Structure 1
């Protein structure tokens, strides 16, 4: 047998070095990817390639894999014969650690290639919420073979390659850990230092928090960073800090960067994402950064290179320090090229040029958004679109009025009063007597078209009450009520009473009540651990108020499956250790919502915040013409096919070729732009799925976001899809997953700087891709972000269409809240509702449809979702379902009838209006009229428990029709109703759960 001595020598040396656990490069291991080379569902995402150089009965491999995952010994390895593709059963594991794996196996094919798959897993649970489980070690070797294994056999296998299924799954190089010995040597060599600094370019994002990457052992800590940027570029780089002791109050500062010729990049253009920034609501953010001993912290440095920068090499310094430590200075050398970056280079997000978006203030100014009108102040009265707020001397509303017609199609000359009496804080002393306050009047501190702010101060002998209010152009009022004890005082009660006019309190939702008729009496107590409830909406179709109780520590909770993970914080003032609550009851004058906090004692100087928000509804009249002519197609398809259905707007969901990654619609933007251009040519508008509730793991900025701790990503138990478990620390919440493309999302923590990025991203998509709006799948941001989004979407005449889908939030996982109540603060900026997934369209009442599904009491219209809804009941509210989401519920026959009748410019007069000209005399069978000159379309639907008959009561004069000449016909509508004619006064049969769409008309003159 010919012996290859050179090859044998290489194997022996490799084996010896493996036993010594020297750097992996000692074996000249190649790190790469092998797309499609194996089945990840059974073998995992990673493998080691072994070369058995000589025919032998026993092979031993020592693999210096440098794994970042914990407890490798609890995970199965699978050895496979490359020649046959069969698993090797005779395997003995000598040891499996994070640093090395030492295994014996029987090389079935002798000399050749073998694979070791070392993280096989299986997905359990729901397909879209998988619970990735790593397979436990198993024993497949025969007892006889195990007895032949000589543990003293030196390694005789060459480790040639470490492979991942693709680059996205690869650990190399930033997730290849340094060994304990290497780390100890590094620490020993730098004894006396509080921390070490490892500058990194943006191409190598720092990924690990509890381990040093081996790359840093190879390169060592340094006091210099070199980079290259274009003129005008949003340049980024990193400083990796390794804490050798606990670090508190980390500070980082930057000098100017200058060239030898005196050209300068000012220090004000440079910042650190991890220590300072701008909050989502436009306020300065200073972060007190703490790093635990033996932890790694990435500091992302942002530099806006001026477009006027003179090409050359700029030099400057970065100083990093912490409390009670000596600062370290990093020399920065940046070469600015003659190339000019377009828009800061944001068209190349892989260069992390968009990280500056996290500190954006775009669209923050509270300018008025159409269709709203500028606020006007006259004395203590503030006028806004369709509504009026009159303030009392204590700063609280004395009266709130709306001017909308009962039909919600326009405005009346006589307002409707929402309140029966002024809002008031009722304060009782320990003796039960009311404490009187003296008010000193309202002082307006800000009067602008979009915002009016005021302050009012009131005193009693024991308390000072400072009321700060702000009203915005859409009808949102925020109150900050600061109650200060002037001396120690015992209170029996401190309550906010909201007295509703009975005619403006027909319906209610919230506080554990599903949308519908308001109960006569209600008692409610705080239970934030289980219930996302802090207020209610009470109102009529054309007049109402939503209120919510807050304090100064309010944080928006998570929603949509994750409320229990981050619930409401009990407001210390209103909750008062469980003593607080709400009682709603009818009085002789109306309906009073008494929001009480119960008995308490306040020490002198103690401050409590009794904050609350109000939303005055409706927000604007119904835009029925938009409803009739704007028809959604909710599925990715070619524009020709979509246009052929009669739809006018297509919603592009995620997990589609042009928008694959959830809430990160930037990677395939060229495909998206080409599609939108084609759709526009055919007269279609295109909206995309994009929200911030969760974020795809494909986001370019994922590692920079993780460096921000819990600011962007919510804390949680980890788990989920394998990629998340293999590349993230365990502190996250796994969210939606798309198996077909292996898109794994992580839950957003709530209100944070990612919302700044989100708004900037929308702006970029409007201007560079041409989107016509967005489709929101539930909402994880507040009204500040919503207003900013609407501004950028509607800039320069863009349509900016926003529609909102919501699954039923009234369940234990979402805290028993109502979808409409939860998202009402966003309603002023929506164009269409799509409520609601998991809603029961058969068992709920007409008033539930009206309040929780239709959107009509808020100036909106909607569509039905679950199972396509009930088409008869939907038409009472002007709703159909959506193409082609539910295959057995096709809205096209009803669309065709709309067109045949000519719904545009018709007047919708709902059954809720006292002016409705057609009724059935049966409350369980309501009728809504769509009236135009010379004709009317009447929608009738039954909620009766059985088949029934009704008698139409028709006010022919209101319809403008002559009863002697008028006809009543039911046009044939496929899958809805047969053609039929009725005589005036004829009994109308109505089947259970069904109805009619009747045409009332007369011959034209």
Structure 2
């Protein structure tokens, strides 16, 4: 890739030209957003007012006759208006123009476009042909049979990255036909290709292959211990099914060998993101090209020399092509397997990584313990019934969420259970047959339970992990034909637990009395809900065996949820939540159906038992994010302690691919560490920069890594990827154009390896996640590699409000709750309204407190008074109108470290106000307390404090109440114990009592 980025090379265009025609890059010598990215430099040495340029440009774009051509006089830099086009095809074109400056150089721009749409989601619109020539000049052209030629001197791209050379210079149809004719007795032709020339086109042979001819062998050089790669370009002459690749050993003349077990095919076999072997069927339509990437793990202890072997390519019809592979092993050992030269595709091995897959316990969690059918985990217990479903779920967190209670908080009024109701309205009774613990490890406990009656067998495979995630695979098999009125799963919550709710079309609020919800996966990213209180709750989601994680954020509608065949039941299913006796019942029903003997359905569901751990308030007070690239000394002076480095910055330029400027990143991080700052970087997997070295190798995997789509977007994507992608975020300053990933795939293995490499080699202190497109398996792996060897591994998660049409009307907190056990802070705030939303919304959807987390505010700086009720400020230097430093100063002067946070939501809060719309949270210390009050009243009000002095631990007769001066927050003021305190609408106070 280095040579690709730096090249200035010569290329023999064809026999039409008697000279070598160079392909060059111009270092942005013209304006792309009017002239395009490509031009031909021609030289005119004749006389007269007409010149003819016969250009064999060999273009990969379709319908070039529908794109404008602009001729510019190099001497004056003015457009030549008198231009006539003839025979414009993908292979060549004839351009007649008036040489306005006589002899000299002229430029022919042949793919001009204009960018339309949002700057970060542009659409390159290619300009249509226009007519600017005068009729008089056109008459001259038509009458002139001896037009002097303008000679092609060079093909130029606006920069090296935009160049088509050499792998996107197409073969002519005549050349392609000759190749096909030479192999007319075959179903396919194989073109071996080295790793430095990724195959980029699927519809055209590159001219490079025409010049080389059909090769029966491949030769290259590698080092000991290197992750070596090469390609086999399969050109299908007819439709090919199930193409496979097999390898022999690579053997030296002395008998040493690289065993075939060290050689693999990336396109046909691999390891999934969850460590399972996967196999892919590769079908190739006729006249299409399929790159096959072959990986060789060169052993470190092998002798230098030439190693020979074979690669066998075979289709379903058993037609086989054989390529002789000759690999010369240098007498040099790579300590890093070549990882530090990723442009050589050495990191493709990462796609099959199993790094950090072992489900080891991650701090602060503790190993699972089981006694009888009771499983204990950090702050929680789950007691299982004989049928494998939860009999009771308990938490042991206090209302303040800063410690543990000895008395359990029961979540359920009775066990979780199914109802199978026949058409007579009778509930089928089950008899338990067996219960077995099938796996018992510190991080995982699994069990299997079987129940039956004379109609249905039910098998429950349960799985609980150390963080409170439980999954239930519920397999239902009909023993005979049966008609059922309904199948229901009942989760009966205690009223105390079911105080709040979010999900199922409900924003995070106090739970409504009744919810009636129906499946609508085409439009809504909803398959469950969180119901709970601050110190006890349960998120559940309904799945079946075919569940696939949908795309999230703006792209949900392009790949929505799949309707579970069991729960959805052709849209007959739904969820009702309502009070029933002493319970708040979540009735998950699927409606009437018939099952034939042997029919199988999966009524699977997942649970997350919340909260995950107590709140680390000291981390909140001490860890202050600076969310912008800046000089480290300037950042240190603000009082911030952690720098978040976004993408589109000098040390992290390309979105979700932080490997190109890594040396600059390391230098920056080293300088930050030297003055006591930590540095985290933006890196996730939702979309991937077009600058990724592995882009074309990933594209060769079909839709495994990248989502299918209609293409379009920035010009580079259209010119080099053609179609079948979703254009994502674009950074104009860097021409960084990302495309959307498909969901759960092997790129997550690469992501884990990449994060490990950045931690160990660059020294990052964590990551900043901008929404999340991976599941909890990958999150656990990430947390393990980020915290290895004593690294802090700080993770904060940002999300915009996803409760809208494009995002599927999901709550950010509900959508990402599976990741909460491994986060250190939330930043849920973009497009959130801090003025109109209720305290319950703040608590459940923004603060993180019911899950053991704390957060910060974002949109327009948030509401500083309401934020402090939850221990939140905004983030430096994100908002010009809300600087958190004055509040940080109060924290430091008061001494927030070691305080006990007692929120207004706790029945133990020692301070309340005389207005139930003006809330108070206490930060308590020996002999003093910081009281945060904030108003949700409709008008300015006066309130008095209602203080439990004994609980507060302060002598009322000696107490003083002062409001320290805080810039843009409050004036300095002193209150007596019984004073009325004026509170402005939407504002509040920070008061110190001591």
Match of 1:110 among 96, 102, 109: 102
Shift of 1:220: 1.5
CA contact (8 A) 1:507 1:515 kept: yes
Match of 1:327 among 303, 306, 320: 320
Shift of 1:137: 1.0
Alpha-carbon distance in 2 for matches of 1:831, 1:417: 27
Alpha-carbon distance in 2 for matches of 1:749, 1:854: 30
CA contact (8 A) 2:51 2:147 kept: no
Partner of 1:730: 723
CA contact (8 A) 2:50 2:148 kept: no
Match of 2:767 among 768, 774, 778: 774
Alpha-carbon distance in 2 for matches of 1:955, 1:425: 47
Q: How does 1:574-589 map to 2 (within 5 A)?
A: 574-589=567-582
Match of 1:440 among 433, 439, 452: 433
Unaligned segments of structure 2, at least 5 residues: 1-11
Shift of 1:154: 5.8
Partner of 1:539: 532
Alpha-carbon distance in 2 for matches of 1:77, 1:560: 39
Q: Are 2:189 and 1:196 aligned?
A: yes
CA contact (8 A) 2:46 2:148 kept: no
Partner of 1:98: 90
Alpha-carbon distance in 1 for matches of 2:799, 2:749: 23
CA contact (8 A) 1:194 1:325 kept: no
CA contact (8 A) 2:50 2:147 kept: no
Partner of 2:845: 852
Alpha-carbon distance in 2 for matches of 1:918, 1:956: 9
Match of 2:668 among 675, 686, 689: 675
Shift of 1:221: 1.7
Partner of 1:375: 368
Match of 1:974 among 962, 967, 974: 967
Alpha-carbon distance in 1 for matches of 2:914, 2:371: 46
Shift of 1:223: 1.3
Partner of 2:114: 122
TM-score after normalising by structure 1: 0.97
CA contact (8 A) 1:687 1:773 kept: yes
CA contact (8 A) 2:47 2:148 kept: no
Match of 1:518 among 508, 511, 517: 511
Shift of 1:923: 2.4
Shift of 1:780: 0.4
Stretch of structure 1 that moved more, 810-819 or 129-138: 129-138
Over aligned residues, Cα RMSD in angstroms? 1.0
- How many residues align structurally? 982
Partner of 1:9: none
Partner of 2:304: 311
Shift of 1:38: 1.2
Match of 2:456 among 436, 458, 463: 463
Partner of 1:31: 23
Q: Are 2:52 and 1:60 aligned?
A: yes
Partner of 1:985: 978
Stretch of structure 1 that moved more, 850-859 or 440-449: 440-449
CA contact (8 A) 1:27 1:159 kept: no
Partner of 2:414: 421
Alpha-carbon distance in 2 for matches of 1:956, 1:292: 80
TM-score after normalising by structure 2: 0.98
- The structure-2 alpha-carbon separation of the partners of 1:421 and 1:41, relative to structure 1 and needing over 3 Å to count, comes to same
Alpha-carbon distance in 2 for matches of 1:425, 1:126: 50
- The structure-2 alpha-carbon separation of the partners of 1:170 and 1:24, relative to structure 1 and needing over 3 Å to count, comes to farther
Q: How does 1:141-180 map to 2 (within 5 A)?
A: 141-150=133-142, 152-153=145-146, 156-180=149-173
Shift of 1:922: 2.3
SS at match of 2:666: helix
Alpha-carbon distance in 1 for matches of 2:14, 2:658: 44
Shift of 1:442: 2.1
Shift of 1:222: 1.2
Shift of 1:152: 4.6
Q: Are 2:648 and 1:655 aligned?
A: yes
Q: Are 2:760 and 1:760 aligned?
A: no
SS at match of 1:814: coil
Alpha-carbon distance in 2 for matches of 1:923, 1:603: 58
Partner of 1:691: 684
Alpha-carbon distance in 1 for matches of 2:639, 2:435: 55
Stretch of structure 1 that moved more, 649-658 or 218-227: 218-227
Shift of 1:226: 0.4
Partner of 1:935: 928
- The structure-2 alpha-carbon separation of the partners of 1:398 and 1:155, relative to structure 1 and needing over 3 Å to count, comes to farther
SS at match of 2:42: strand
SS at match of 1:640: helix
Alpha-carbon distance in 2 for matches of 1:23, 1:545: 73
Partner of 1:880: 873
Post-superposition Cα deviations, 1:799-829, rounded to whole Å, max 9, x if no partner, equal 0000000000000000000000000000000
Q: Are 2:343 and 1:350 aligned?
A: yes
Alpha-carbon distance in 2 for matches of 1:461, 1:769: 63
Shift of 1:28: 2.1
CA contact (8 A) 1:395 1:441 kept: no
Match of 1:604 among 594, 597, 601: 597
Alpha-carbon distance in 1 for matches of 2:560, 2:521: 6
CA contact (8 A) 1:531 1:816 kept: yes
Alpha-carbon distance in 1 for matches of 2:642, 2:604: 41
Shift of 1:182: 1.0
Unaligned segments of structure 1, at least 5 residues: 1-17
CA contact (8 A) 1:511 1:524 kept: yes
Shift of 1:95: 2.4
Alpha-carbon distance in 1 for matches of 2:938, 2:559: 41
Alpha-carbon distance in 2 for matches of 1:533, 1:901: 44
Shift of 1:251: 1.0
Shift of 1:23: 5.0
Alpha-carbon distance in 1 for matches of 2:850, 2:699: 42
